[in-house]
Amino acid sequence: MLTPEMALARAQDIVSRARAAGADAADAVLGASASVDVSVRLGKLEDVGRSEEEELGLRVFVGRRSASVSTSDLSSDAMDILVERAVAMAREAPEDRWAGLAPENRLLKGDIPDLDLHDGDEPSPASLKEAALAAEDAARAVAGVTNSEGGGASAHRMSWALATSHGFAGAYRTTSHGIQASVLAGGGEAAMVRDYAYHAARHASDLESPEEIGRTAGERAVARVDPAKIASGPMPVIFDPRVGSSLVGHLISAIAGAAIARGTSFLLGKLGQRVFADGITITDDPHRPRGLRSRPFDGEGLGVATTDLVRDGVLQTWLLESASARQLGLEPTGHAVRGGSGAPGVGTSNTYLAPGKASRDELFAGISRGVYVTELIGMGVNTVTGDYSRGAAGFLIENGEIARPVDEFTIAGNLTDMFLNLTAADDLEFRYATNVPTLLINGMTAAGG
């Protein structure tokens, strides 16, 4: 696999070739990755997969015309053909007055920050198999588990480089490791139900033990056996952190620069206004050491910094790459993300909703009748209108206590109202790329199946 230095040299080389071929400006990204995945089921090895990939993406500009191309063939002859094709495409493309590289004065200068994203560990397939078996064995050992969908373990390494014709050159490398288990409970007169647990980390040493992951999966599945149907009506809804993070995802989609520039967001015109309840703060932290989405620079070469998206309920910023920033007459925010092909989009890094003052138990204690959601199904969310309707499963809340499991119901509302009626517990843990504590939203509607 290419080292970061090798990847950066390739990216710089193709940018130079593009300029020599007639491009006024160009940038290139190169991602090189290697991964190993092992899956087991019922105590036996099911699959071992290994993959190595290299993809280079080139974007060229001829005036205000641009084109993007990508390839996995990194030979010199292929680079010449790619450059020739890209420049020819750009000359025939329509003009876009917003297109262009990021502002040169905003590019990251100096050393690339070291965020400790690579542990140098390359687990063998045998050790991954051992971890996957241990996770599944622990899940199957939970009383009430009746079958298994399997266990798995994986290891991934990546080098990523970006070079631009106006002076940016940077590269870094990452590792990621994961363990998961998924099992079933019930059967016979009781319908079978499933649940899962997983954990991912940049460093293998930060992973939870396979036994803990498996035990959690088994306990979650058993708790869902013999679900009831929920009676329809308005009620408070509590979101488990596993699913509550999706609410932050809807916010991110609604404040993306392209959506604002097109006028297709329910938060249009809300910058600087209250969009969440008092006390709610949502922060994006790209510099967290070992963070699952940490990055030393964005997809256009801009420096990145910790940013409050929402502070004390008030919307603080849009998420802007250079093109949407120009269209809106604003500055890019360092949230550009870039794949192998196409122009940059936007995305956050390690995003979290700050913990509130009430404990998780206190959130439940105030509810005489409600629902605790542990699984969401479907994608019934309209970020243009804010309308929200999703299938769900979880547990009834009765007199402040978690009662029997329920499934096949729908929760509905509008994100505008949901955000303003959101209360956060104090149990925030950093386990995922987007993290939230337990969340309560009053005023939603639940409808039974």
What is the structure's pLDDT at 122? 87
Which of 103, 122, 129 minimizes the C-alpha distance to 46? 129
The tokens for 230 are 């929920």
Task: Tell me how crowded residue 305 is: count the other CB atoms within 10 A of its CB.
Answer: 11
The yes-or-no verdict on residue 55 having pLDDT over 90 is yes
Task: Tell me how crowded residue 231 is: count the other CB atoms within 10 A of its CB.
Answer: 13
Residue-wise pLDDT for 394-436, tens only, equals 999 999 999 999 999 999 999 999 999 999 999 999 999 999 9
Average pLDDT over residues 11-25: 97
> In the predicted model, what is the mean pLDDT of the chain?
96
| pLDDT tier at 189, thresholds 50, 70, 90 | low
What is the structure's pLDDT at 141? 98
What is the structure's pLDDT at 249? 97
Average pLDDT over residues 131-159: 97
Residue-wise pLDDT for 176-185, tens only, equals 999 999 999 9
Average pLDDT over residues 137-142: 98
Angstrom distance (rounded) from CA 441 to CA 421: 6
Residue-wise pLDDT for 230-242, tens only, equals 989 999 999 999 9
What is the structure's pLDDT at 121? 78
Average pLDDT over residues 204-223: 97
Average pLDDT over residues 112-136: 95
242: three-class secondary structure by DSSP: helix
Angstrom distance (rounded) from CA 441 to CA 371: 10
Report the b/e string of 170-192 with b at 16+ CB within 10 A.
bbbbbbbbbbbbbbbbbeeeeee
Cβ neighbours of residue 111 under 8 Å, at least 6 residues apart? none
- Residue 97 has phi, psi (to 5 degrees) of -70, -15
The tokens for 385 are 């209108």
Which of 423, 440, 427 minimizes the C-alpha distance to 372? 440
**Cα separations in angstroms, 247 against 81, 351, 418:** 45, 12, 9
Residue-wise pLDDT for 58-69, tens only, equals 999 999 999 999
The yes-or-no verdict on residue 449 having pLDDT over 70 is no
Residue-wise pLDDT for 332-389, tens only, equals 999 999 988 788 999 999 999 999 999 999 999 989 999 999 999 988 899 999 999 9
The answer to whether residues 148 and 180 touch, using CB atoms and an 8 Å cutoff, is no
Residue-wise pLDDT for 292-329, tens only, equals 999 999 999 999 999 999 999 999 999 999 999 999 99
The yes-or-no verdict on residue 191 having pLDDT over 90 is no
The tokens for 111 are 């050393």
The answer to whether residues 403 and 395 touch, using CB atoms and an 8 Å cutoff, is yes
Cβ neighbours of residue 76 under 8 Å, at least 6 residues apart? none
What is the structure's pLDDT at 441? 98
- Residue 208 has phi, psi (to 5 degrees) of -65, 160
**Cα separations in angstroms, 341 against 21, 59, 142, 432:** 20, 8, 46, 27
- Residue 152 has phi, psi (to 5 degrees) of -155, 155
The tokens for 272 are 């600087």
